[in-house]
Structure 1
Amino acid sequence: MDKKALRKLAQMKRHELPPLLKAQFDENIREQLMKVQEPYQKIGLYISIQDEADTRRILQHLLDQGKQVAVPKCVVREGINTLDFYWITGLQDCIPSRFELLEPVAQPSRKAELSELELMIVPVVGFDLEKNRIGYGRGYYDSVLCHFSGLKVGLAYTMQRVENFQPEVFDIPLDMILTEQGSL
């Protein structure tokens, strides 16, 4: 199967997850992430949408712990899809944007440099056992992961694992993928 077909299959499986089971899986992932993130103070975190592994409770927990959290804003720079990160104090610092995302208000005083982030938590559509990630296919995360030197962690459900995935040259493997069943 090609990457596009694997992406669609993984999304379909994730979409079929019953809400109560999803809530339990999200809690399992959150508990694992709380252990992983402990030594880090400056964290990049996506705000989940639709049936992605939930990060909204994670966001609040990190902020309650006094962590600095930066969330991404999709931008196009010189014809390339990329992300800018902004420090937030809660979801009230974000507004609805394209792709059904909540994105931070782009205030220059809150802009986070990629080099400041110690841990980046990224969305995953599909993954393989080598921690290769299939995203949404627009390249936003690929453009920053290749320059990020901190810990790269993806959040996904076990059912999103794909077989026979051939990563492309620009695909950056993650350091860790957390699922409801444990870490990879």
Structure 2
Amino acid sequence: MDKSEWRTKGKSLLESYSKEEKGNIEKAVHNQLFQSALWKSAEVVAVTISLTHEWSTHPIIEAAWDQGKKIVVPKCDPELKILTFYDLQSYEQLEVVYYGLQEPSPAKSQAIEKKEIDLLIVPGLIFDRKGYRIGFGGGFYDRFLADFNGVTVSLVSEKQVTEELPSEGFDIPVQHIITEENWLTI
């Protein structure tokens, strides 16, 4: 399969989970993350604001706030195809942009430098055991990861992990993949 076919498969998979199954997987994955040394040592955590069909990131955001960690969330520049992360202290700082995505409003948020991020939770649809991923197709994260020096982790279900995916020279693998059953370190 090519990347487009994998992307379609990944979207279908995410939409196939029942509410109960999705909730159970999220709980297991979040618990593994919260018990990890990666989480405990991170002072600045970067994560997207999830859409309803994606794994919920709201428990991650709220746990970070409760534990005094700084949460930063991305704003996409579709023309330049780059991400800029902003400090998120309240959901009131978000605005709805294209495709119903919630992103930080630059007027209400402070941009942060890439080097400040300790732990980056990287979204995706399908992953392989080498850490490569098929995302939503914009290439935003691969561009961001090209010179990122922090720790990367993705939170997925076992069904989203396959042996091998097609990859290209600009694709950047994540360092850790957490599923409801396993923890892969690449």
Q: Normalising by structure 1, report the TM-score.
A: 0.93
CA-to-aligned-CA distance 1:80-128 (integer Å, 9 cap, x gap): 3010000011222111111321101114861110011111011111101
Q: 3-state SS of the aligned residue for 1:137?
A: coil
Q: Does 1:21 align with 2:13?
A: no
Q: How far has the Cα of 1:181 moved from its partner?
A: 1.4
In 2, Cα distance between equivalents of 1:96 and 1:135: 21
1:49-60 equivalences in 2 (<5 Å): 49-60=51-62
1:96-175 equivalences in 2 (<5 Å): 96-107=96-107, 110-175=110-175
In 2, Cα distance between equivalents of 1:179 and 1:171: 21
Contact 2:29 2:179 in 1 (8 A): yes
Aligned residue identity for 1:145 = L
Moved more, 154-163 or 142-151: 154-163
Q: 3-state SS of the aligned residue for 2:62?
A: helix
Aligned residue identity for 2:73 = V
Gaps of 5+ in 1: none
Identity %: 32
Instruction: Evaluate the alpha carbon distance shift between residue 109 and residue 45 of structure 1 in structure 2; reply closer, same or farther with a 3 A threshold.
Output: closer
Q: How far has the Cα of 1:3 moved from its partner?
A: 0.8
In 2, Cα distance between equivalents of 1:159 and 1:6: 13
In 2, Cα distance between equivalents of 1:93 and 1:122: 21
CA RMSD, Structure 1 to Structure 2 (Å):
1.4
User: Highest relative contact order (Cα 8 Å, sep 6+), 1 or 2?
Assistant: 1
CA-to-aligned-CA distance 1:121-172 (integer Å, 9 cap, x gap): 1111110111111110111111101111000111111111234412111110
Q: 3-state SS of the aligned residue for 1:112?
A: coil
Aligned residues: 182
In 2, Cα distance between equivalents of 1:180 and 1:128: 16
Aligned residue identity for 1:58 = I
Number of the residue aligned with 1:63: 65
Q: Normalising by structure 2, report the TM-score.
A: 0.92
CA-to-aligned-CA distance 1:43-88 (integer Å, 9 cap, x gap): 1111111221111011001111000111000014xx5301000001
Contact 2:93 2:109 in 1 (8 A): no
Contact 1:14 1:159 in 2 (8 A): no
Number of the residue aligned with 1:72: 74
Q: 3-state SS of the aligned residue for 1:103?
A: strand
Instruction: Evaluate the alpha carbon distance shift between residue 60 and residue 108 of structure 1 in structure 2; reply closer, same or farther with a 3 A threshold.
Output: closer
Aligned residue identity for 2:62 = Q
Aligned residue identity for 2:98 = R
